[in-house]
Structure 1
């Protein structure tokens, strides 16, 4: 049987747990963790086989992210965010993939996608400026995908707005040190980045709307089911998988902590109320896991059959994905509240999992209002418009 990346992750479980605590102290993944993840192939799960990628089913990607996050939340988060970029780069201009992976297939690519910069058209490309927050794992990355607003000749955003994804090498952007001072997911090193008057050639840009609605994949001639998957399924998948994996790690840490603990009312194992809470939380975390995996299986089956994934299907998928994250974090709250005062100590792993789970829930793709609203309207046969279609 062929060894999978998740098997390699479990082989380095102790190392990931140990390095997770160190990553929180230094505010980014440790060099040891990045090296171990490269050796295991975490970021090559969705990478094209031409560049030594595995092109796995999205379910396997999600399961690997969960496993990694259960051991080290920051490593799992980076796995989910940075690990989804090869999926998108597979249908970028072929010159981009060659530039990024031609010399080193383990080159990592950061983001963020928020359009916090402006791209001014010039001959052959764009002059690009802006500042972005939340570039997860950026210290370990040599390239980046950044969201931009298309500008006019004076560099002012055009109206109505048009969004682009700009792909830049490390020499064309600055990482802002000391810009990631946060309460959770500290080890992800999700720092700010700045671009000043960088020239980005046309072929290193992608139309954001075409990426999100699937036009970019079709224009690139993609035939693999993996690369025809909707962006609004794949990008959130990595992030929510990390949150659920963190919840699984929190449950494991809680069980380890409570196993022999004696509380105010005696041995915790003899307390039926705590046992009830643990049982319910374990069931909810497992339910979150299963509904996320079942959802990606469903979308994959639609794509694999050659059918188009409708907006209603995409909205229902986003609804499921968001609810899975909230369900898992709510379960973590239930067990953390029953862990006693010593669980608050910074040398105990449970408090870090608790903080990191809540930090993961704060990501924009976990805001429930729009996907819930859009999904409900779709179920009534109403086609949502405007902002209700965002990230769906």
Structure 2
């Protein structure tokens, strides 16, 4: 189905770079076929897909447009992280709208203060790809205890309504990814939306139960690194498509009837 959308994704790509955001037509079309729900649990209507499924989807989108592929990959990455959280947190994200998209910035730049039932959080998180189309975000932070001493690193699941978005994404390429900066000013994050780093690195996730599917038991760091390759593979294939498309055309001001005839 993504292959059928490729002409539209390609046509919208240039405008997306100018607008510095993926066109809504592209987002709506991908949402309709479930491209942002590859890693979402089946109980919310998602595909509960594997890392290979994730790579395949991002690669197919990337063949149409790189910026769109990048946010697709990041939304599905964040969807997998959301599935590692307690059911209460997952329900808050997907309970009312299963199409809700999540972003993720792993950098632990957030500062916290321990309070009853959770943490007060402040900070800025740049490179938030997909932030323009997201309802929630994972944001990295350093946790402290009641005395203010360092306790652990963590990923905090925060609704976009608690954040402001700073327009910082002014770059030469991949402008449509909308990788702007989230800002939090003394917001409350409850304990059930906190994923501690040390247990997670050891494969212990806050939402794991005896019934948790194997796809949500994978190693955290290896999984997050592998799945990003899909968008890059798709972009590479798009470049190859461009080269092959031009290979049969003549070279201006030469005797070569086809570019492929030239050794240059």
Report if aligned partners of 1:217, 1:227 keep a CA contact under 8 Å in 2.
no
Report the alpha carbon displacement of residue 88 of structure 1 after superposing the two structures with TM. Answer: 1.7
Report the alpha carbon displacement of residue 228 of structure 1 after superposing the two structures with TM. Answer: 1.3
Aligned partner (choices 50, 53, 56) of residue 57 of structure 1: 50
Task: Count residues with an aligned counterpart.
Answer: 262
* TM-score when normalising by structure 2: 0.93
Report if aligned partners of 2:55, 2:228 keep a CA contact under 8 Å in 1.
no
Mapped pair 1:162 → 2:148: no
Report the alpha carbon displacement of residue 60 of structure 1 after superposing the two structures with TM. Answer: 2.0
Aligned partner (choices 151, 156, 164) of residue 144 of structure 2: 151
Q: What is the distance in 1 between the residues matched to 2:209 and 2:113?
A: 25
How does 1:120-159 map onto structure 2 within 5 Å?
120-153=113-146, 158-159=149-150
Report if aligned partners of 1:128, 1:200 keep a CA contact under 8 Å in 2.
yes
Q: Secondary structure at the match of 1:262?
A: coil
User: In the superposition, relative to structure 1, how do residues 218 and 124 fare at CA in structure 2: closer, same or farther (>3 Å)?
Assistant: closer
Mark the runs of 5 or more structure 1 residues left unpaired by the alignment: 1-7, 275-392
Aligned partner (choices 59, 73, 76) of residue 80 of structure 1: 73
Q: What is the distance in 1 between the residues matched to 2:239 and 2:18?
A: 19
| Larger proportion of strand | 2
Q: What is the distance in 2 between the residues matched to 1:228 and 1:152?
A: 28
Mapped pair 1:70 → 2:63: yes
Match of 2:226 in 1: 237
Report if aligned partners of 1:128, 1:196 keep a CA contact under 8 Å in 2.
yes
Mapped pair 1:172 → 2:165: no
Q: What is the distance in 1 between the residues matched to 2:211 and 2:112?
A: 27
Runs of 4+ aligned residues of structure 1 deviating over 4 Å after TM superposition are none
Report the alpha carbon displacement of residue 21 of structure 1 after superposing the two structures with TM. Answer: 1.1
How does 1:1-392 map onto structure 2 within 5 Å?
8-153=1-146, 158-159=149-150, 162-177=152-167, 179-216=168-205, 219-221=208-210, 223-262=212-251, 266=256, 267-271=258-262, 273=263
Q: Secondary structure at the match of 1:195?
A: strand
Q: What is the distance in 2 between the residues matched to 1:222 and 1:21?
A: 45
Q: What is the distance in 2 between the residues matched to 1:219 and 1:45?
A: 19
1:4-33 C-alpha deviation (Å, 9 max, x unpaired)? xxxx21121111111111110011111111
Q: Secondary structure at the match of 2:108?
A: coil
Q: What is the distance in 1 between the residues matched to 2:179 and 2:75?
A: 11
Mark the runs of 5 or more structure 2 residues left unpaired by the alignment: none
User: In the superposition, relative to structure 1, how do residues 255 and 116 fare at CA in structure 2: closer, same or farther (>3 Å)?
Assistant: same
Q: What is the distance in 2 between the residues matched to 1:145 and 1:255?
A: 40
User: In the superposition, relative to structure 1, how do residues 150 and 59 fare at CA in structure 2: closer, same or farther (>3 Å)?
Assistant: same
Q: Secondary structure at the match of 1:112?
A: strand
| Larger proportion of helix | 1
- Aligned-pair Cα RMSD in Å: 1.8
Report the alpha carbon displacement of residue 111 of structure 1 after superposing the two structures with TM. Answer: 1.4
Which has the higher relative contact order, 1 or 2, with Cα contacts under 8 A spaced 6 or more apart? 2
* TM-score when normalising by structure 1: 0.64
